[in-house]
Structures are given as C-alpha cells and as structure tokens.
Chains A and B, each alone.
Chain A
Amino acid sequence: MAYLLDQIVNGLSLGCIYALIALGFAMVFGVLRFLNFAHSEVFTAGSFIGYFVLHRLSPRLGSSPFLLVGLAMLAAGLGAGALAVLVERFAYRPLRGYSGVTVLLSAIGVSILLQNLGIHALSAHTRGYPGVALPITPKQLALIILVLSFTLLFVLVNRTPIGTQMKAVAEDRRTAQLMGIDPARVIALVFFLGGFFAGIAGVVWGLVYGAIHPQMGFYPGLKAFIIAVVGSIGSLTGTFLAGVCLGVAESLLSAYLPSTLSAYRDPIVFTLLIAALVWKPSGILGKPTIVKV
C-alpha cells in the first residue's frame, strides 16, 4: 500500500512537471490556434540555464538553498521566456494568417535548430544536475511550484486587465485590435509566460531526475502537448487535470507492468494518449467547435 502511495506521489510530481510544460502549449494554442512544437526546446533551455546558475551560485549561496533554487528558477524562467519571444518574433510572426501546418513546420524547424545548436554548444552527453540541499524533496517542490504557478496564472488571466486582453485576443483577434489591443504585444506576452513556466519546469526536472541533456525536451514536450490537447486546449484546469493523470498513469505503469512489458511503457503511454485524442477530439472539457461558412 505504501508502495502504491509512493508511486502515486511520484506520478503526481511527474504530472506536475508535464502540466507546467503543457501550460505553455495550452496558452499559445488558446491564443493563436497553433501548436508550438519548439516549446520542448524552451523547456530544455530553461533546464540548462538553471544548471549553469546553480553551478555558479552554489558555492556562494549554498547555505540558503531556497534562495539558490529561487534564483535559478527565476533565471531559467526569464531566459526561457525570452527565448520563446525571440522564436515567436522570427519564426512564427512572418507566418501569421497561414495555416496551422505551415507554422507547425516552422516550429519543427526551430526545434531541430535549437536541439542541434545545443548539442554543438554544449555537447550531447548527459550532465548531472547539481544537487541542492533542500529541506523538502524535489518532488514535493514540484508540487508546490505547480500550485503556485497555476494560482499565479489563474489570477493573471482572470483578474488583471492584461489577462482580459489575452482572452480577447484568443477569442477574436481582429475585434480585439479594433478595441485598441495590440495583438503583437499580447502574443509576445503569452509566449513569454509559456516559456517562463516551461523554464521553471526545466529546473524542477533537473532537480527531480538529476540529469539533463540537450535533447531531453522531445518526449516530455510531446507528452505535454498531448496533455494540453486532451485537457482541452485553452483550459487551464483541464490541462492541470490531464497532466496529473498522465503523470500518475506513467508512474503506475512503470511500477506495475510485468517485466516482459516494462520496456513498452512509452509506447503504451503514447497509445493511451492517442486514445484520449481520438475519444475526445476537442479535449476532455471542450465542446465541438462550429465552423462558419
């Protein structure tokens, strides 16, 4: 029983990381109706920024671990957010108005570009993440961070004027423009926020799993994207639920699959995700959209 609980907790923290990454997908899609494939690399970038910050600052701030981790996350969030904004500016904005697949291709291009730039700059091997002596376990940290992030985001989107602007642009960009909202700024902000949280997720991942490498973003990113879809893109609560479910499912599968099948955990998870996609093409909380002709 204790083992089961352990696994569930593991799953929850994994799910939190996925959900944090999924936030970025969900928000960008909510506003732009576009799948930001390069989001995974933003996550990786955040992770690496955190890595370097921790290395640099740990000798000096080793005694106050919360400050250390906080700074690392802040730096990672800001850096990843900035990267996301840059990507939007150069790879997506020129394609405004063209179909989702065109932009998706550009996003894939960015993803490959960043992955391989990372490999060149930082070498492909796996690095160990610096450990930080926190009074709480990294997994508990993940949970706390997620709750904080969701609260922050919820307040931002629903209680601030800029949040209303974001919702307006998501709903109807042209009308929002006519009302005086500058969509370019709002979109940049959305990308920044998505990147910010993904960057933080990167640091959390590093702390929880202890190892990072330049191509680590692909699988978590893919899973996070599907979580965002299943959780009905645009809905924060749905994303949260879906992320947590996936994390727990993955963790339980790892723990309880018979050994002959244990290597198949990833394909099984992917199949489950496809099943969710097929079962609910608009996401678990969404309604089918009506297209005007």
Chain B
Amino acid sequence: MSFYLLLYHLSFLGVMLLLVQSLNLVWKARLFSLGHHGFFGLGAYTAVVMIKLALPAGVAAWSTTAPSQRIVGLGLLVACVLAGGALAAGVAILMGRLFAQLRGDYFAVATLVFAEIVRSIAANWDYVGGGLGFEVPYLVFSKAGNERLLYGVFYTALLLGLNWVAFFLIRRIEGSVYGLYITAVEDDPIAAELSGINVTRLQNLVFVVAAMTAGSAGALFLHFTTLVVPTDFSFPNGLLVILGVVLGGLRSERCIIAATFIYTSYEVIKVRVFGLFGFESGVLIADWKEVLLGLVLIFSVTLPAVWHRAQIRQAGAPRQRRPLLAGGGRGGSVDAE
C-alpha cells in the first residue's frame, strides 16, 4: 500500500471516529438519533455553497499553486469548516426545539427522515450539482505531482487533529459535572429529572455539540476528497456510524475506537476493491458485505440480550447492568419495577 493510500485510510478512519464519538455522546444522553449523517452532509454542502459564493467565476478559475492563493485557500478552508459546523449547530438547535415532545423511537425516526430530507434536497438541487454531486477545487495543496504527499499529509493531519480536539473536548465534558449529568440521564432519566436535571435542555445541548462536530467533519472531509455526492450520506452510510456506536457499547471510549477501527477496515477493504469511496456507498450497489452488515447489526444486539438472559437464568438474580441500550425511550422507563 502506498503511503498516500495509507493517509487516505487514516483520514477516513478519522472521520468515522469523529462521527461515532459525537453520536455516542448523544445516545448516552438518551437521544437515539439515527440521522447523524445528515449533519455531516449539511456541513459538506455548506462548504459547497460557500465555495460557489466565493468563486463566482466558477471552480475552474481557481489555481491552487500560486502562493497567495494557498493562503486564501487556507482561509477559505477554515471558513468552510467553521460555517459547516455553525449551520449544523443551527439546524440542531431548531430540531431540538421542534422535536422536544417526541418519544424515544419517534425521535429516532424523525432524525432519520431529517437525514433523508437533506440527502434528497441535495440530490435535487441543481445549484449544488444535484444527483451527480459537486467537485470543489483543491485548497492549499493539490494532488499534482510531488505535492500529492504534502496534500495527503496536510489533510490527514487536519482530520486527525480535529479528532484529537474532539476527543479532548469529550474527555473534558465527561470529567465535568455535565458528564455526571449525562451519565445520570443515561442511567435513570426520571430520577435525573427529579433531581433537578433539565433533561431536555441537556439533550439539546449535547445534540448541538455533536451536530457541530459532524458538520465540521463534513466540510473538512469534502475538501480532502474534493468530491461530494448525495449518496455519501445516504442511510446505509449513516448506519455505519450507528453501528460503530452500537458495537462500541455506550460505556467505554476504547470500545468505540476499537469498533470504529473494525468496521472502518471493512470499509477500507471495500474501498480498495472498488476504488474511489464516493460512488460505492450508493444505495444501488450491493455486495456481500452489505449482507454481512445487516447480520452484524442483528447479532450485535440480539446476542448480548440472549447471553444476558442466559446469565439471569443461571445466576437466578438480575445483574446490575443491562446491556447496551436497555431502558425506555426519551422519557425513561415506564413501570416502577
């Protein structure tokens, strides 16, 4: 594998880590969002719109290699990433308000539909290229000749750097009282609320922070791959993020990282076999790995449950912890047992 390809895979892993970690925090707060990839797409397309506005003369007019252009490019890159995060955060604030009354599984489907709306608007809006997607110019560095490696290193470093920032931020959050609040909501949302925690506001907060992360990631990743296609954030891809959270279990960050790595490898294999990432994640193309994905998803939730039941039968007493996602929806469990 060439060094460049390795960098490419590392970047991809970086993106997945960002998405999975941010979604994990949201799920911990008992907001089972299934549309996180929608924010990723929003971020990417915000960048597209900004590029279009910044380059009224068209994308082809941009020359990456002139030194002054590099600096402008850097500025543009930063602006796009910030804007992507900001728009995603704004939409998340709106969604939090709108969906405040929705129960756990209804909320999940509403977020899913949201992601679909984003994808289908992107696929139909000619300004951003419609179904064929949009190609942005290389900012700061290009793939030409000996720059290629520099380009790869630059963007990989940025993505991994963003990851590191997110990781650090999440650690900080978890070490603060807000981490306690989130864990309290995760363990028992009704007791949490009756202890004074404004669960809805906490959830909205976490949701917005996660959306911002996903949006920034989307913009950054776009400038790395320079091509975005609406099918990039179709539901099967969003599912990969969800799968990472599920496999990681909500408890340990290391689990999440391990899980992300595992299925990113699966993705990476897919990429190597089929080439460019952009087109293969489309809904219409299937290979046995999709079937495997379905099976993995089923087993990753049913097996722990079956094992847990067997444990109960053996031990004769309920265990302290329930696996993964036990408990009620957004409002908490129903009956005092």
Which A residues fall within an 8 A CB radius of B? Answer: 34-35, 91, 94-95, 98-106, 108-117, 119-120, 124, 215, 218, 222, 225-226, 229, 263-264, 266-267, 270-271, 273-274, 277-278, 281, 291-293
Interface string of B60-80 (1 = CB under 8 A from A): 000000000000000000000
Residues on the A chain within 8 Å of B291, using CB: 112-113, 116-117, 120
18 A–B contacts from the bound complex (CB under 8 Å): A95-B302, A100-B105, A101-B325, A104-B105, A106-B298, A109-B293, A109-B294, A109-B299, A112-B294, A114-B294, A116-B290, A215-B283, A264-B120, A266-B120, A274-B98, A274-B113, A292-B336, A293-B336
Secondary structure dominating the interface of B: helix
- Given A111-B294, A113-B294, A274-B113, A120:B286 Cβ within 8 A: yes
Residues on the B chain within 8 Å of A109, using CB: 293-301
Complex CA gap A24/B309 in Å reads: 29
Residues on the A chain within 8 Å of B109, using CB: 35, 225-226, 229, 277
Interface string of B306-337 (1 = CB under 8 A from A): 10010000000000001011111101101110
- Given A99-B326, A101-B105, A222-B113, A116:B294 Cβ within 8 A: yes
B104 A278 Cβ-Cβ under 8 A: no
B294 A102 Cβ-Cβ under 8 A: no
Nearest to A266 among chain B residues (CB) is B120
Q: Could you say which of B113, B190, B336 has the most chain A C-beta atoms within 10 Å of its C-beta?
A: B113
B326 A98 Cβ-Cβ under 8 A: yes
Residues on the A chain within 8 Å of B334, using CB: 291-292
Q: Could you say which of A35, A112, A271, A281 has the most chain B C-beta atoms within 10 Å of its C-beta?
A: A112
Which B residues fall within an 8 A CB radius of A? Answer: 32, 98-99, 101-106, 108-110, 112-114, 116-117, 120-121, 124, 190, 235-236, 239, 242, 246, 283-286, 288, 290-291, 293-302, 305-306, 309, 322, 324-329, 331-332, 334-336
A94 B295 Cβ-Cβ under 8 A: no
- Given A99-B325, A101-B329, A281-B106, A112:B283 Cβ within 8 A: no
